[in-house]
Amino acid sequence: MKLVKMLTAAIVILVSLNSLAEDPHINGKKHPRRKEVVDRAQNEKAKNNDAAVNGKITNSQAKQLDRQDNRIEKQEQSQAAANGGHITKAEQRQDNREENRVNQERRADEKKDAAAPTSGQ
């Protein structure tokens, strides 16, 4: 069962990386602030996936966290579209604060699930 989860995680990561290569938003010339926000969102998604695969959080918790990360990425894209392909420092700070909250939520989920009593299975 663990092998299946690990293989599934590897496939998800490879598909994500492949989609990054095809996304013009990710490739080509881009502002360093955009790169930092997008890279961080992708890193957080990988952490969510790893936590789910390792049993630190449930799959539904990981999906919820990924939805939040996706929303932050879409927000960054709309910010850049409104600013000629760049985001402002204030927008970058806002996006980072939101990623911090998602990260805190994942850590809280990990602690909550670690403290939960486990069955003898």
pLDDT in tens, 72-113: 999 999 999 998 889 999 999 999 999 999 999 999 999 987
Average confidence (pLDDT) over 31-42: 89
Could you state, in order of their start, the residue ranges of all structural domains in the chain? 2-113
Burial of residue 31 (number of CB atoms within 10 Å: 0-12, 13-18, 19+): middle
Under 8 Å between Cβ of 87 and 79: yes
- What is the model's pLDDT at position 22? 43
Contacts 24+ apart (CB under 8 A), 94-97: 95/37, 96/37, 96/40
Global pTM? 0.68
3-state secondary structure (DSSP) of residue 57: coil
Average pLDDT, the chain: 82
